[in-house]
Chains A and B, each alone.
Chain A
Amino acid sequence: MEQLTTIGLNHYLTVSAFLLGFGLFAVMTRKNAIVILMGVELILNAANINFLAFSKFNGGMQGVMFALFVIVLAAAEAAIALAIVINVFKTFKTVDVSNIDSMKE
């Protein structure tokens, strides 16, 4: 019963695992570059939840710090990503990654 009432490490980890799964699913199946990047954000946030959870349950500040940095970097990455996606849209007139395949083999 405690499992259900008290939120423990496993809960965090389960959520994080789900987030990771969603992220991966998005990354694998969505055609839109923006959505794919959103999937990446999900993955990063899954990691963040892990860090925070571990930090809480194992003690130590590193996890928290890590999560902070991940958030910052996710933001930076998003900025760059959007710039690139816009550029791609300018050239290809689409952000559908499945159509952007001039280089192959």
Chain B
Amino acid sequence: MHSLIQLSIVVLLLPLLSFVILIFFNRRLPRRGDFVGVGILGTAFAISAYIFWTVIVQTYDPAFRVAWNFTWIDLGNVPGVGPLQIKMGVVIDNLTAIMLAMVNLISLLVHLYSTGYMAGDKNYGRYFAYLGIFTFSMLGIVLSDNLFSIYIFWELVGLSSYLLIGFFFEKDSAANAQKKAFLANRVGDIGMWLGILILYSQFHTFGFSEIYANLAAGKFTLSNAWLTASGILLFMGCVGKSAQFPLHIWLPDAMEGPTPVSALIHAATMVAAGVYFVARIFVLLTPDALHVIAFVGAFTAFMAATIAITQNDIKRVLAYSTVSQLGYMVLGLGVGAYSAALFHLVTHAFFKACLFLGSGAIIHAMHHEQDMRWMGGLRKHMPWTFATFTLATLALAGLPLTSGFMSKDAILAGALGFATVEGGGIYYLIPVLGFFSAMLTAFYMGRQIWLVFFGESRTHLKPADDHHADHHAHDSHAAHGDEHHEEHGVHEVSWNMRAPLVILATLSVFFVYSPDPLDGAKGWFMHMIQTPATVVGSASLEKPAALATAQQPLLAEAAVVGAGHAEKDVPESAAAEKGEEKGGHTFADPRQAEIAHATHGAHYTAIYISSIMVVLGISMALIVFVFKIIDPDKTAEAIRPLYLFSLNKWYWDEIYDATFIRGSVILSKVLSWFDTNIVDGLVNGVAVTVRKFAFANAGFDKYVVDGMVNFTAFSVNTTGAVLRKLQTGKVQTYVVMLIIAVFGYFVYYVTKLVY
């Protein structure tokens, strides 16, 4: 076993250890054991930093990969398949190393920060335990070498988020939010699970490398529609976790969790998992699947940005900005800008964590006031927070010299390149939405900065009733429960909350990633994380399905043999490949190669457009909020339908509520009714019939008339009229019955014999 593997397993298990210790013993430990959590995470970070150092800095090899696995379940000699084992394992490559370091760092910072933020909560110890399992789950996703274990940790992330979002479970809103998050994620998960099933059903393995090898070898025997479907379905997992449309609804509600948790969820762990996962499966995505992904990402980016403009809750703005940024990443993956998307994932993780922690500091300082309308002027009271928050905001908006600029620009360049290669038309919608969202991002972040930090304090403007309600509705834990805040006391937070802000802000600056502030591609990140070659060649995919199936092995072989063949078959792509050569590697797949080439070409165009957009956005924010040339309220009035549309988040919650949720509840009631009344009723009906029949028979002796009617072939009325006079329980009627039985049958027999 490679020493890095051993270390990575240690890293994986350390947070779990923290969870186990804290969940069982937190009440017996001093300070509820927060030092255990912080200490363990510190250790984990140290180890992962070492891994990072070894892999990224020392080895510096784009193709670095070590893997290890063990047999988890041995299915024996399965009929029709042969010996079959389900393996679990760990893989470390550059992406893993980076993600490990990032996750552990942010987690550590959140732990540290929480020691300040959560101090005094009655479930303080449990909180750290939850953080531990959250980190563990996320690390599991990062380290997994197969779909099955990814799915396991995927769900565990869901659980952890459930626990953390609902940490203040006494609040109904929190309880609702945690449920919503879990269920929305589950919907995504079933898609992902089906995707996994499609792949497993073909290859009888969950391992990435085996699946890709099999795919490349053309062993996928179903039609290509299935392959596309599997890609889209797997992407559904990402839609859930990374809060893409249409499952984005859970994320803003998840703000009910403690703010540091928001940082952890929305920056480093959960939402990143989705993007990370798509990156892992990137190579098996067919062009069709990629198109879907790209459109979903672009739409999400745009939609969330429009919503973020009108939100008043400081965390909600950030939440929607997260959704929007995740949209970018997904868009990036969809257009094939693999490394750019991951780059954005990492940069976003840092600056968004910074933003969330910063907002947490603000909320903390404001005594759990989250509404931006009642903030203002915090610049003076909280200089550290202000500085770091602003820096992170700039990065988010994508101003040059920040990390965000580089990564976002790379994605947009990819989108442009993609649109050109795909032949324009509707595909240009993707970069257009991307650029437009960039402008909106700059605008709403400008608005936020202004509302929070500049101007005068507007705390006193808050309506009293609202205030009271809010007080209970937000982060009010027991320790703060009775502490009504007065017109004072807004001051900078303590060091343990400040330090993480500073660290994260630092990591939002360009030089961490690339020497050239304008081109992330020149940095180590883009070098280490390179777009992998697809294993589902587009050439074969364009063939009619029937033909494709027949020729699959041949074509796949051709794809494997590589560039040489491709060059012969598709001459025009040769140039593209050459263009990409300086990127260090080539693509066998012509489409991929073309996109890479076009992306490269679009780099500067993207920079120009996006810079313009960002400037536009910021200036609009300035115009509206600083110079007050346009009154936001009046504008809102003027475009009220649009304003409400945005404020109410495009009414997705209402739509889902009216359709899926209410539909399910109604259906469940209907089915339950059906169950008790119809299904059970049928059975009881049979019983009743039997009893009725029994009654008829019991009355048989009683009302012999009727009974005779059943037993004889005589006319109902005449015999009935005669024999009705006979009464119950009489021996004579018995005798009559006897005689009728004997002679009746005889008459029947004679009749039959005669005719």
- Chain A residues packing against B (C-beta within 8 Å): 24, 27-29, 31, 36, 97-98, 100-105
Contact A105–B732 (Cβ < 8 Å): no
A63 to chain B, nearest CB (A): 23
Q: Does B728 have its Cβ within 8 Å of any Cβ on chain A?
A: yes
Residues in B whose Cβ lies below 8 Å from that of A105 = 698-699, 701-702, 728-729
Against A, the Cβ 8 Å flags (1 = close, 0 = not) of B84-103 are 00000000000000000000
Residues of B within 8 A of A31 (CB): 732
Identify B727's interface contact among A28, A29, A98, A103, CB under 8 A. A98
A34 to chain B, nearest CB (A): 14
Q: How many whole Å from A35's CB to the nearest CB in chain B?
A: 11
- Which chain B residues (703-755) contact chain A, with CB distance < 8 Å? 726-732, 735-736, 739
On whether the beta carbons of A102 and B729 are closer than 8 Å, the reply is yes
User: Which residues of B are interface residues toward A (Cβ below 8 A)?
Assistant: 698-699, 701-702, 726-732, 735-736, 739
Chain B residues near A28 (CB, 8 Å)? 732, 735-736, 739
CA of A75 to CA of B730, assembled, Å: 25
The residue in B701, B702, B726, B732 that gathers the most chain A C-beta atoms within 10 A of its C-beta is B732
A101 CB contacts on chain B under 8 angstroms: 727-730
- Contacts A98-B727, A103-B729 known; list 7 others, CB within 8 Å: A28-B732, A36-B732, A98-B730, A101-B730, A104-B701, A104-B702, A105-B702
Contact partners of B732 in chain A: CB under 8 A: 27-29, 31, 36, 97-98
Question: Which residues of B have CB within 8 Å of A27?
Answer: 732, 735, 739
Chain A minimum-CB-distance residue to B740: A28
A104 to B733, CA, bound (A): 12
Q: Within the assembled complex, what's the spacing in Å between the Cα atoms of A29 and B736?
A: 9
Instruction: Write out the residue numbers on chain B whose beta carbons fall within 8 Å of the beta carbon of A103.
Output: 729
* Separation of A31 and B732 alpha carbons in the complex (Å): 8
Smallest distance from the beta carbon of B625 to chain A beta carbons, Å?
92
Residue of A nearest to B698 (CB): A105
CB distance from B499 to the nearest CB of A (A): 92
User: B residues within 8 A CB of A36?
Assistant: 732
Q: How far is the CA of A28 from the CA of B726 in the complex (A)?
A: 11
Q: How far is the CB of B671 from chain A (nearest CB, A)?
A: 42
CB neighbours of B729 from chain A (8 A): 101-105
Docked pose: A36 CA to B702 CA in angstroms: 21
User: Closest residue to B729 on the A side, CB-wise?
Assistant: A104
List, in ascending order, chain A residues with CB within 8 A of B730's CB. 97-98, 100-101
Complex CA–CA separation, A36 to B736 (angstroms): 12
Kindly list chain B residues whose C-beta atoms are within 8 Å of the C-beta of A104: 701-702, 728-729
Task: Give the shortest distance, in Å, between B629 (CB) and chain A (any CB).
Answer: 98
- Minimum CB distance partner of B735 in chain A: A27
Complex Cα distance, B733 from A97, in Å, reads 10
Closest to A30 in B: B732
Query: Which residues from chain B contact A100 at a C-beta distance below 8 Å?
Result: 730-731
Using Cβ atoms and an 8 Å threshold, which residues of chain A touch B739? 24, 27-28
Sample (5) of A-B pairs whose CB atoms are under 8 Å apart: A97-B730, A98-B727, A101-B727, A104-B702, A104-B729
CB-defined contacts of A29 to chain B, threshold 8 Å: 732
Cα separation A100 to B732 with both chains bound (whole Å): 10
**Cβ distance A105 to chain B, nearest Cβ, rounded Å:** 5
- In the bound assembly, the distance between CA atoms of A105 and B702 in angstroms comes to 5
Q: Which of B727, B735, B739 counts the most chain A CB atoms within 10 A?
A: B735
Q: Which residue of A lies closest to B739 (CB)?
A: A24
Task: For the complex formed, measure the closest distance between the CB of B73 and the CB atoms of chain A, giving whole angstroms.
Answer: 65
Q: How far is the CA of A104 from the CA of B726 in the complex (A)?
A: 13
Residue in chain B with minimal CB distance to A99 = B730
Q: Which residue of B lies closest to A36 (CB)?
A: B732
**B736: A residues at CB distance < 8 A:** 28
Q: Which residue of B lies closest to A33 (CB)?
A: B731
Query: How many angstroms from the CA of A102 to the CA of B726 in the assembled complex?
Result: 15
The CA-CA distance from A36 to B735 in the complex, in Å, is 10
Minimum CB–CB distance for A99 against chain B, Å? 9
User: Measured between alpha carbons, how far is A36 from B726 in the docked complex, in Å?
Assistant: 16
Contacts of B735 in A (CB 8 A): 27-28
Bound CA span A104–B702, Å: 7
CA distance A105 to B731 in the complex (A): 12
- A101 and B731 CA atoms in complex are apart in Å by 8
Q: How far is the CA of A101 from the CA of B702 in the complex (A)?
A: 10
Task: For the complex, give the distance between the alpha carbons of A101 and B728 in Å.
Answer: 7
Nearest 7 A-B pairs (CB), nearest first? A104-B729, A101-B729, A104-B728, A98-B730, A101-B730, A28-B736, A97-B731
Which residues of A sit under 8 angstroms from B699, Cβ to Cβ?
A: 105
Interface-central residue, A27, A31, A100, by most chain B CB under 10 Å: A27
- A residues in contact with B731, CB < 8 Å: 97, 100
CA distance A49 to B727 in the complex (A): 35
Smallest CB gap from A39: residue in B: B735
Complex CA gap A78/B732 in Å reads 18
Task: List the B side residues contacting A102 at CB < 8 Å.
Answer: 729
Question: Nearest chain-B residue to A27 (Cβ)?
Answer: B735
| A31–B730 alpha-carbon span in the complex (Å) | 10
Q: Taking the nearest CB of chain A, how far is it from the CB of B723, in angstroms?
A: 10
For B731, give the chain A residue with the smallest CB separation. Answer: A97
> Who on chain B is nearest to A40 by CB?
B735
In the bound complex, CA of A21 to CA of B587 (Å): 109
| Chain B residue contacts of A24, Cβ below 8 A | 739
